[in-house]
Chain A
Amino acid sequence: MLPGLKFVAVLGVVVGAMGSIPAQAETIRVNIDKLVFAPANISAKVGDTIQWVNEDVLAHTATVKGDWDVMIPPKKTVSFVLKKAGDVEYYCRFHPNMKGRIAIAPK
């Protein structure tokens, strides 16, 4: 586990134990390799962070039409916090054949 993630996890447990938030936010990792989002379908909740890890030499995006647009440069990891509930389909603007889906539950 990455040191940063461990810290977030520990913090989550501590805060959770204090009872100030009902469910701790999670970080969900989505790998991008050879123009594929993996896993392509994920379930999350509002407040969770999606972390896209781009293994390709190409720039990609995670784009929801008419809503958010996350740039994911080559060989970089980019995080995005989910702000509202709903089932969203996202795609890469540069390679629209790349598609993913997130079922976002309310907090």
Chain B
Amino acid sequence: MFVRLSTAVAVICLLGTPSFAQGAKPTDPQIAHIAYTAGVIDVTAAKQAIKKSKNKAVVSFAKDMVRDHEAVNKQALALVKKLKVTPEDNDTSRTLTKQAAAKQAELAKLKGAAYDKAYAANEVAYHKAVIGALETQLIPASSNAELKGLLETGVKIFQGHLEHAEHVAAELK
């Protein structure tokens, strides 16, 4: 898991490496797509948890994730529409989606407490990775002030979820 996640981080970090940065840091349409994808990934993982888990705290956390990320992504779509920005698919979004699908397939094989622990641990790691990408790459690269503002609020949301996920993970131990 950590190998996959660090790959995801590395991929996101690629956006900031000199080779990409030379004339090609992520554009606002790409940033919007990456942020939106990050939300969709967490919703998909949460829906799997709601189906699979019988643990009250896990299911309740997963429902919070669905509700929050769907609300934020709705807000994000409204913003890009207002700004007349069309989110643009890109390698980072594609890699994130691919890795998330692999993780979901891995989690699908687990059951009961083993699943709950793996889901909670992944939520902790995933939220940390997204916060890192937002703070070090996506926010500095974004040029529109409103998009930047939404990403900054996104950091606070992900930090809140991270703390919540850590509580859930600690309860499962």
Contacts and interface: CB of A to CB of B under 8 A. Distances in A.
The reply to whether chain A is a binding partner of chain B is: yes
Given A34-B153, A35-B153, A92 B67 contact: no
Q: What is the interface of chain B mostly: helix, strand, loop, or mixed? A: helix
A59 B163 CA distance: 16
Given A35-B156, A35-B160, A58-B157, A94 B64 contact: yes
Given A57-B75, A74-B71, A34 B167 contact: no
Contacts of B156: 34-36, 95, 97
Say what secondary structure dominates the interface of chain A: loop
Contacts of A92: 160
A96 B157 contact: no
A82 interface: no
**Which size bracket describes the interface of B in this complex?**
10 to 19
B68 A94 contact: yes
A34 to B, nearest CB: 5
11 contacts: A35-B153, A57-B72, A57-B75, A58-B72, A58-B157, A92-B160, A95-B160, A96-B164, A96-B167, A97-B156, A97-B160
Given A34-B156, A96-B160, 18 more contacts: A34-B152, A35-B153, A35-B156, A35-B157, A35-B160, A57-B72, A58-B72, A59-B68, A92-B160, A94-B64, A94-B68, A94-B164, A95-B156, A95-B160, A95-B161, A95-B163, A97-B159, A98-B160
Interface of A: 34-36, 57-59, 74, 92-98
Interface of B: 64, 67-68, 71-72, 74-75, 152-153, 156-157, 159-161, 163-164, 167
